[in-house]
């Protein structure tokens, strides 16, 4: 038999073996197989739920002489690392019924995980729907017998729990985009599909950590939800890192993380936030905006405005910028020319027609050596949904403004 045929034969045998084993696993999955002797495992049943207040749970097969720590956490965490809500003390019986208060951090969650752990290695976990009417349902996802274990060296590759019909789509996953970075100073993000009314803790940490355990740099209140733009300072201790992680967590189990290069060239757009000073750039006046125009239209920028700081010696002309691109409700990228050197411009956005005067402060940008640059700025949540938005860069002496179609 040729070597290749032997190889094919072996390959076919492996494939058949894999298929057979896979079939067995599938059968076990479909049959709701549970490894070991279920009778000796502690297991729980949700008895009732007082929404946002407490849950009553009963357990069987709990070792009578052991103390269990009871935790609640976001759905999907199996209760691992959750908030301690009480203990289940030793008793003369292996069965019990007890009520535990829902911690404040989980108030409002639609589903909550609950977990029992003993120092001897016994554990059980379950989840409940934080809604009294659903707690006693006999069908659906109301209650899942928590996979449990007995202590011991056996390492059983536990098949997944009994499959159930594919759940209906439950909405989009909230995400974040990094839209701008000021090296060692700040990072700008824009959220998408964020849930309403939640406070996210924002952390920045070393690259590769997913932001876990990073320095808390602020919070993000999701307000009405959706797209929210916010800027966070980079911790001084991490200011010199080449890459960093950023993470947003809410108590109800939402989280997002990403990473970014800690330099001004990093962002969503290929030309995002790149400060490429061109001292010799010639001022260019772009055509006047045409209201109602269907596309991004570069517009003319005015000359210096009200003085709070003086003019820059040797600088001539006027700063202008055009709109390069827009991501609806998320960000706008501008291309600026002939900006004076060494000036800190405040970037604002406001309603169309306001010229950005008094608009929401987005960030500040230092013009460095002056000249040309491109940058991307997040569109604030308050302006999301608007068809046209004004954007303004101003120092108090110099200013430029423009507007763009938010699409």
C-alpha distances in angstroms, 248 versus 89, 140, 254, 258? 36, 31, 8, 9
Q: Spell out, one character per residue from 19 to 58, where the chain touches other proteins: x when CB under 8 A holds, - when not.
A: x-xx--xx--xx----------------------------
From 6, 10, 15, 104, residue interacting with other proteins (rule: CB under 8 A): 15
- When the beta carbons of 96 and 257 are compared against other proteins, the nearer one is 257
From 56, 144, 233, 364, residue interacting with other proteins (rule: CB under 8 A): 144
- When the beta carbons of 202 and 304 are compared against other proteins, the nearer one is 202
Only segment of 97-105, 247-255, 375-383, 399-407 that touches other proteins (CB under 8 A): 247-255
Q: What gap in Å lies between CA 321 and CA 340, rounded to an integer?
A: 13
- The yes or no reply on residue 195 touching other proteins (CB under 8 A) is yes
Supply the minimum distance, in Å, between the C-beta of residue 88 and other proteins: 19
Site for other proteins in 167-186 (CB under 8 A): 167, 170-178
Q: What gap in Å lies between CA 239 and CA 179, rounded to an integer?
A: 18
CA atoms within 13 A on the CB side of 68: 27
- When the beta carbons of 97 and 175 are compared against other proteins, the nearer one is 175
- When the beta carbons of 125 and 315 are compared against other proteins, the nearer one is 125
In this structure, the chain runs to a length of 407
Q: What gap in Å lies between CA 359 and CA 184, rounded to an integer?
A: 26
Supply the minimum distance, in Å, between the C-beta of residue 207 and other proteins: 7
C-alpha distances in angstroms, 297 versus 286, 287, 321, 402? 9, 8, 11, 9
C-alpha distances in angstroms, 199 versus 50, 67, 101, 256, 375? 24, 34, 22, 13, 28
Paired with 283 in beta bridges are none
3-state SS string for 75-127: CCCCCCCCEEEEEECCCCCCCEEEEEECCHHHCCCCEEEEEEECCCCCEEEEE
CB atoms within 10 A of CB 67: 13
Q: Are 113 and 126 in contact (CB under 8 A)?
A: yes
- The yes or no reply on residue 380 touching other proteins (CB under 8 A) is no
- When the beta carbons of 26 and 53 are compared against other proteins, the nearer one is 26
Supply the minimum distance, in Å, between the C-beta of residue 104 and other proteins: 17
Only segment of 68-76, 90-98, 226-234, 298-306 that touches other proteins (CB under 8 A): 68-76
Q: Are 407 and 331 in contact (CB under 8 A)?
A: no
Q: What gap in Å lies between CA 250 and CA 301, rounded to an integer?
A: 42
Q: Spell out, one character per residue from 88 to 127, where the chain touches other proteins: x when CB under 8 A holds, - when not.
A: ---------------------xxx-x-----------xxx
Torsion-angle region of residue 178: left (phi > 0), alpha (psi -120 to 50) or beta? beta
Only segment of 55-63, 150-158, 220-228, 300-308 that touches other proteins (CB under 8 A): 150-158
Question: Which among 335, 312, 310 is positioned nearest to 391, based on CA atoms?
Answer: 335
How many residues sit in the footprint of other proteins (CB under 8 A)?
A: 67
Supply the minimum distance, in Å, between the C-beta of residue 35 and other proteins: 9
Q: Are 360 and 318 in contact (CB under 8 A)?
A: no
- When the beta carbons of 109 and 220 are compared against other proteins, the nearer one is 109
Supply the minimum distance, in Å, between the C-beta of residue 254 and other proteins: 5
- The yes or no reply on residue 164 touching other proteins (CB under 8 A) is yes
Reduced to 3 states (helix: H, G, I; strand: E, B; else coil), residue 320 is strand
From 4, 5, 92, 155, residue interacting with other proteins (rule: CB under 8 A): 155
Only segment of 11-19, 39-47, 180-188, 281-289 that touches other proteins (CB under 8 A): 11-19
Q: Tell the residue number behind the tokens 């507007």, with chain if given.
A: 403
**Binding residues for other proteins (CB under 8 A):** 15-16, 18-19, 21-22, 25-26, 29-30, 74-81, 109-111, 113, 125-127, 141, 144, 146-147, 149, 154-164, 166-167, 170-178, 195, 207-208, 210, 243, 252-259, 261, 268
């Amino acid at each position: 038999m040729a070597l290749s045929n032997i190889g094919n034969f072996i390959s076919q045998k492996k494939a058949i073996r894999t298929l057979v084993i896979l079939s067995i696993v599938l059968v076990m999955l479909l049959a709701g197989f549970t490894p070991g002797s279920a009778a000796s495992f502690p297991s729980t049943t949700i008895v009732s739920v007082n929404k946002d207040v407490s849950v009553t749970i009963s357990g069987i097969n709990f070792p009578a002489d052991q103390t269990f720590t009871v935790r609640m956490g976001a759905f999907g965490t199996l209760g691992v690392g959750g908030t301690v809500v009480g203990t289940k003390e030793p008793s003369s019986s292996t069965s019990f019924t007890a009520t535990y208060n829902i911690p404040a951090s989980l108030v409002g969650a639609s589903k909550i995980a609950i977990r029992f752990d003993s120092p001897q290695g016994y554990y059980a976990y379950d989840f409940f729907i934080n809604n009294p009417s659903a707690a006693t349902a006999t069908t659906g996802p109301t209650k899942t017998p928590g996979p449990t274990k007995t202590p011991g060296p056996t390492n059983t590759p536990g098949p997944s729990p009994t499959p159930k019909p594919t759940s209906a789509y439950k909405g989009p996953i909230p995400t974040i985009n990094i839209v701008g970075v000021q090296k060692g100073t700040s990072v700008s993000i824009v959220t998408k599909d964020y849930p309403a009314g939640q406070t996210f803790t924002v952390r920045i940490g070393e690259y590769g950590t997913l932001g876990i355990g990073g320095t808390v740099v602020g919070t993000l209140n999701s307000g009405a939800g959706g797209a929210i733009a916010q800027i966070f300072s980079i911790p001084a201790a991490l200011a010199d890192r080449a890459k960093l992680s950023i993470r947003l967590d809410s108590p109800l189990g939402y989280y997002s993380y990403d990473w970014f290069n800690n330099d001004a060239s990093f962002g969503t757009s290929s030309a995002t936030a790149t400060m490429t000073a061109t001292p010799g750039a010639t001022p260019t006046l772009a055509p006047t905006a045409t209201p109602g125009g269907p596309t991004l239209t570069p517009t003319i920028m005015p000359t210096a405005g009200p003085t709070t700081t003086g003019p820059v010696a040797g600088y001539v002309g006027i700063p202008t910028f055009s709109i390069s691109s827009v991501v609806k409700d998320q960000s706008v990228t501008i291309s600026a020319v002939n900006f004076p050197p060494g000036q800190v411009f405040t970037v604002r956005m406001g309603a169309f027609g306001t010229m950005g005067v008094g608009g929401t402060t987005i960030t500040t940008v230092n013009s460095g050596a002056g000249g040309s640059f491109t940058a991307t700025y997040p569109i604030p949540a308050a302006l999301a949904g608007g068809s046209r938005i004004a954007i303004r860069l101003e120092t108090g002496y110099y200013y430029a403004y423009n507007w763009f179609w938010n699409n």
